[in-house]
Amino acid sequence: MTLQEILNAKEGHHFEFKEAKNRFGTKEAAEYLCVISNHGGGRLVIGITDKRPRKVVGSKASEQPESSILYFMDKLRVSCDFEIYHDENNKRVLVFEVASRPVGLPVQFDGTAWWRDGERIVPMPESVRRAIY
């Protein structure tokens, strides 16, 4: 995937954009990756505005993404990876990718299966959990 394709992607269940110029908490990132995984997998993009027209602002978040990936895989128990992009001004964009949840099991972080409800992330509704099981 190219940086231009990422800029044009629709935010929703499979893409989450966070500006996070200086930092983005590992716990918060894990919750968003949990949401994305529970909705079929996708990407958490850090360093790009979430409002259209999207712009690369760059980010210093997670300067050691290899460590973050190990943490995410340990806590979420699904496959995760990352990609780093730089625009023409050398602004850094970090993209974490997470696989879809396993069939029949919701992904949880710290004992909670996170879910998207509009713009918010919330604990997964019981009706959704039952349908997954």
pLDDT of residue 12: 86
Lookup: tokens for 89: 């001004």
pLDDT of residue 13: 81
pLDDT of residue 94: 98
Distance between CA atoms of residues 3 and 85, nearest Å: 7
Q: What tens digit of pLDDT does each residue of 71-103 get?
A: 999 999 999 999 999 999 999 999 999 999 999
Domains of the chain: 3-132 (3.30.950.30)
Q: Are 48 and 7 in contact (CB under 8 A)?
A: yes
- Average pLDDT on 104-110 reads 97
Closest CA to 15 of 58, 40, 24: 40
Split at pLDDT 50, 70, 90, the class of 118 is confident
Could you check whether the bond before residue 53 is cis, i.e. omega within 30 degrees of 0?
yes
In degrees, rounded to 5, the angle at the alpha carbon of residue 7 between the alpha carbons of residues 81 and 65 is 25
- Predicted structure pTM score: 0.94
Q: What tens digit of pLDDT does each residue of 7-53 get?
A: 999 998 899 999 999 989 999 999 999 999 999 999 999 999 989 89
Q: What tens digit of pLDDT does each residue of 51-74 get?
A: 989 999 999 999 999 999 999 999
119, pLDDT greater than 90: no
Q: Are 41 and 35 in contact (CB under 8 A)?
A: no
